Amino acid sequence: MRFSAIVILVSLATTLVGCGGEEILVPKIVSSTKRPVYEKLHVYEKPPPKKIEVTPMPRLAGKVIVVDPGHGGKDPGAGEVGCSRLPEKTLVLAIAKNIETQLKACGARVIMTRTADYFVSLNERAAIVDKYKADLMLSIHIDSCPKGYISGPTVYIANKACCQSDKVASSIHSSFVTAGIGSKGIRHAGFRVLVKHSRPAVLVECGYLTNSNDARKLNNRWYQKNIAKLISDGVILAFGGR
């Protein structure tokens, strides 16, 4: 019986650098009668370590803000004698709810003095502010005036307002001006929701329901969201957000 010897050829691997890793040439086992044939094996590099994303703290984290939709229930506010199809109490509630949503999204704890169409006295509203030791009382209203040409929002603070009240009022006023809304500026008043508690407070009159242009805009849901955003932006900036 005859035996044929088979020779195993092994050659040193040649390394080829490829995209995303290395390609290594490895020999196949072949008979001595043929040249070695090389196969490519793709060697993958280790994936890069995952980046740890740090979530920034919400801009109003830890802040308690009382949002106060004016009037309600038996008290309709302005609108009955104005150019609006809806009374003040309905419109300010819609704006206040938009503000609530936006401030909560920034981490604030928001307390609403009313969430539907019912009456809450001014003294009760002020008591809520002290009860929760609010960082801010934000009261939302819409104005009226016998002179129908008067328009635009107005920001009010107490006659002897604290520094934080003044800071928030200035920031909201600036937010209106930047957006091109003709704000009537910052005024001082002795409104009970501003003075019958010990916390910072701002009252915003969002326009005039006795002005046909203001009334038309304030009855529009898009504008309600827009003015709510401008007020919320002012609050956020005043508390050091952004």
Same domain? For 160 and 205 the reply is yes
Residues 200 and 135: their CA atoms lie apart, in Å, by 6
For residue 212, the one-letter residue type is S
Residues 89 and 72: their CA atoms lie apart, in Å, by 5
* SS3 of residue 111 by DSSP: strand
Respond yes or no: is residue 205 known to be catalytic.
yes
Catalytic entry in 22, 39, 100, 205: 205
Same domain? For 198 and 87 the reply is yes
The answer as to whether 126 is a domain residue is yes
Q: For the CA atoms of 32, 34, 38, 39, what is the dihedral angle to 10 degrees?
A: -100
The answer as to whether 3 is a domain residue is no
Least Cα distance to 159 among 116, 203, 190 occurs for 190
User: What integer pLDDT is reported at residue 125 of this predicted model?
Assistant: 98
* CB neighbours of residue 132 within 10 Å: 15
Same domain? For 87 and 199 the reply is yes
With beta carbons less than 8 A apart as the criterion, state whether 110 and 63 touch: no
Residues 87 and 142: their CA atoms lie apart, in Å, by 9
User: What integer pLDDT is reported at residue 240 of this predicted model?
Assistant: 78
Same domain? For 135 and 218 the reply is yes
Residues 239 and 136: their CA atoms lie apart, in Å, by 10
User: What integer pLDDT is reported at residue 9 of this predicted model?
Assistant: 40
User: What integer pLDDT is reported at residue 109 of this predicted model?
Assistant: 97
* Tokens standing for residue 9: 């050829």
Same domain? For 31 and 69 the reply is no
Adjacent-strand bridge partners of 17: 22
Same domain? For 70 and 158 the reply is yes
* SS3 of residue 188 by DSSP: strand
The answer as to whether 5 is a domain residue is no
Regions of the chain where pLDDT drops below 70: 1-57, 80-81, 241-242
User: What integer pLDDT is reported at residue 58 of this predicted model?
Assistant: 78
Q: Tens digits of per-residue pLDDT, 216-229?
A: 999 999 999 999 99
With beta carbons less than 8 A apart as the criterion, state whether 186 and 156 touch: yes
CATH of the domain at 97: 3.40.630.40
Same domain? For 20 and 114 the reply is no
Same domain? For 134 and 219 the reply is yes
Q: Which residues contact 1 (CB under 8 A, 6 or more apart)?
A: none
* CB neighbours of residue 10 within 10 Å: 9
Same domain? For 165 and 221 the reply is yes
Q: Tens digits of per-residue pLDDT, 5-38?
A: 444 444 444 444 444 555 555 555 555 555 655 5
The answer as to whether 83 is a domain residue is yes
Least Cα distance to 199 among 136, 156, 132 occurs for 136
Same domain? For 102 and 193 the reply is yes
Assign 3-state DSSP to the chain and report helix, strand, coil percentages, each to 5: 30, 25, 45
Same domain? For 97 and 37 the reply is no
Same domain? For 22 and 138 the reply is no
Q: How many domains does the chain divide into?
A: 2
Domain boundaries, position 145 = 64-238
User: What integer pLDDT is reported at residue 127 of this predicted model?
Assistant: 97
* Tokens standing for residue 21: 């890793």
With beta carbons less than 8 A apart as the criterion, state whether 65 and 103 touch: yes
